[in-house]
Amino acid sequence: MKTIFLSNNIIKMEDNIHCNAILTENGIIKKVGTKEDILKLKDENTQIKDYEDNCLMPSFIDAHSHITALAKSLLIANLSNAKNFDDIINFLNEYKENNKIKEGEFLIGFGYDHNFLKERKHPTRDILDKVSKEIPILITHSSGHMGVVNTKALEILNINKDTKDPIGGKIGRENGIPNGYLEESAFIDNTKKCMNISIEKLMEAIKKAERIYLQYGITTAQDGLTKYEEFNILKEMSKKNMLDIDVVSYVDIKNCKEIIDENKEYLKYHNRYKIGGYKLFLDGSPQGKTAWMSKPYENEKEYRGYPIYKDSEVEHFVDTAIKENIQIITHCNGDSAADQLISAFKNKKTNIRPVMIHAQTVRKDQLKEMSKIGMIASFFADHIYFFGDIHLKNLGKRAFNISPIKSAIKNNVVYTIHEDTPVVEPNILRSIWITLKRETKNGVILGEEEKISIEEALKAATINAAYSYFEENEKGSIKEGKNADFIILDKNPLKVKNIDEIQNINVLETIKNGKSIYKKINN
């Protein structure tokens, strides 16, 4: 099936050769050129789509998120609008009643942020006990790195006064008694014991999650920490040909390495699903003050967060990935965590394109080392707007250097941007606006010198993101031989008069392999 796509506003993400027409066949771009030349190639069966002045460009590529976690968040109580403890209680009670949660089932909520609560602290088990003392309750911080459980959940998880803090984690206590707050490994390792969602419900939720990615123009999404449950569900959806977008998993290297050992055929796409490599965590989050910094947090004498692993353990994980020639992506928010990762790669020849995920506080000297290694920096640039004011409080002057994308470009480091969904929704155009403006909610500019151009920002979500998946020959730009993965926008981002217009640009249509799979209603 041949299709000709026409537009007066095509962004190729390639060189500036004139183009206002594209010929595709069976989902692949066959020819790019002028309208006059391309129309000569049509036959009686060729479909013609003319978008006139609407912008046509390569679809966006999600550089890092958690599609299965987004799916799960659609099945639990939404706490993102909670402004105080009473709101948390009310939202949980409403969800409990509407969904008829019974004893023995976990009541789960997601998305509160203590930084934005009136009380300016995490709730405790006593607060959650006001919702129920019989039903176990778990609520997750928006960062995904910490949360709170009620007394019943503590009993089920067997956490008591004699339970020791795990390595790389913390159990909150009052007078030696667990108060329900769990941090990092103490939280992450216990959450899997609380989710009890059927495979059928989760598959339905993943389809809804796909729809969310599509409405933002994304045709490749990531599952950024895949364990056995996530892998088995995504594999099953692949077998049933249920996926409309490409999904790339990164397997928990510490706990689930066997997934790759036993399923190496999935290192290539099967019906839109593949394993991209391994995932490793080295620290926490700066807004939660668990990111591992080289210098203490503001108003702290010594505390600077903490690592999850010893240097020797990190080197072992890295050596494993290099030996197997499999990519590894690594969560590093603090600059000490970045040091630990960079050190593990030093003096080692590799072409696995390791990715530093988040890279919030990476320093300029570290970017130089990353360039030598060939390490990609995937910046969680949305932090500038959503959490920038918190970073100013926690990091002081260091906050002005978060997500140093311009410095990455100057040091020849391949860069991407991401939303870490479900931390924030996968709105890439908004992320581009944040990246360009670098302004906090309170109007503070964090690093004027780190601002980049619109074209540089678009590269982060297209051709550079494709490169981070080893897919630059198939995706990320409009070029003959690549996938016909397009989006239609109501404005051309490169032609806006004011960068504030970018966050209001609408994705009108999303096209995967030449097939329209999303259209905005009432556009």
Percentage with pLDDT > 90 across the chain = 89
- Same domain for 168 and 310? no
User: Could you tell me the CA-to-CA distances from 442 to 141, 210, 432, 437 in Å, in that order?
Assistant: 22, 33, 19, 13
Does 70 map to a domain? no
Q: 168: domain range?
A: 76-191
Report the distance separating Cα 158 and Cα 160, nearest Å. 6
501-523 pLDDT tens trace: 999 999 999 999 999 999 998 64
Query: Which amino acid appears at position 58 of this protein?
Result: P
The 3-state secondary structure of 250-275, one letter per residue: EEECCCCCHHHHHCHHHHCCECCEEE
Task: Determine the average pLDDT of the residues in 404-428.
Answer: 97
Q: Which of residues 142, 158, 191 is at a domain's end? A: 191
- Same domain for 145 and 208? no
- Same domain for 272 and 403? yes
Query: Which residues in 69-107 are b (16+ Cβ under 10 Å) and which e?
Result: bbbbbbbbbebbebeebeebbebbeebbeeeebeeeebb
- Same domain for 415 and 373? yes
The 3-state secondary structure of 76-130, one letter per residue: CEECCCCCCHHHHHHHHHHHHHHCCCCCCCCEEEEEECHHHCCCCCCCCHHHHHC
Among 350, 341, 414, CA closest to 377: 414
Does 450 map to a domain? yes
- Same domain for 269 and 336? yes
Computed on alpha carbons and rounded to an integer, the radius of gyration of the chain in Å comes to: 23
454-473 pLDDT tens trace: 999 999 999 999 999 999 99
Does 64 map to a domain? no
User: What CATH number does the domain containing 87 carry?
Assistant: 3.10.310.70
Task: Provide the mean pLDDT of the chain.
Answer: 95
Percentage with pLDDT > 70 across the chain = 99
Report the distance separating Cα 209 and Cα 245, nearest Å. 11
User: What CATH number does the domain containing 241 carry?
Assistant: 3.20.20.140
Q: Is the pLDDT of residue 141 over 80?
A: yes
Q: Is the pLDDT of residue 427 over 80?
A: yes
Which range has the worst mean pLDDT, 283-287, 339-343, 413-417, 448-452?
283-287
Does 345 map to a domain? yes
Query: Which residues in 195-205 are b (16+ Cβ under 10 Å) and which e?
Result: eebeeeebbeb
- Same domain for 239 and 220? yes
- Same domain for 392 and 263? yes
190-234 pLDDT tens trace: 877 777 778 888 999 999 999 999 999 999 999 999 999 999 999
Does 473 map to a domain? no
Q: Is the pLDDT of residue 61 over 80?
A: yes
Predicted confidence at residue 100, as pLDDT, reads 84
Give the model's confidence band at 17: pLDDT under 50 very low, under 70 low, under 90 confident, else very high. Answer: low
Does 477 map to a domain? no
31-43 pLDDT tens trace: 999 999 999 999 9
Predicted confidence at residue 193, as pLDDT, reads 73
Predicted confidence at residue 66, as pLDDT, reads 97
- Same domain for 153 and 207? no
Q: Which of residues 155, 171, 191 is at a domain's end? A: 191
- Same domain for 285 and 380? yes
- Same domain for 441 and 387? yes
- Same domain for 346 and 448? yes
As beta bridge partners, residue 281 has 331
Predicted confidence at residue 395, as pLDDT, reads 97
Q: How many CB atoms lie within 10 A of CB 3?
A: 21
Q: Which of residues 159, 191, 223 is at a domain's end? A: 191
Report the distance separating Cα 377 and Cα 414, nearest Å. 6
Does 432 map to a domain? yes
Does 515 map to a domain? yes
Predicted confidence at residue 429, as pLDDT, reads 98
Q: Is the pLDDT of residue 1 over 90?
A: no
Cα–Cα–Cα angle for 350, 352, 357, nearest 5°? 120
Which SS3 state, helix, strand or coil, does residue 193 take?
coil
Note the pTM of the prediction, 2 decimals.
Answer: 0.90
For 443-497, the DSSP string reads S-BS-GGG---HHHHHHHTTHHHHHHTT-TTTSSS--TTSB--EEEESS-GGG-S
480 token code pair = 């003959």
- Same domain for 418 and 454? yes
Domain total in the chain? 3
For 316, residues 6+ apart whose C-beta sits below 8 A from its C-beta are none
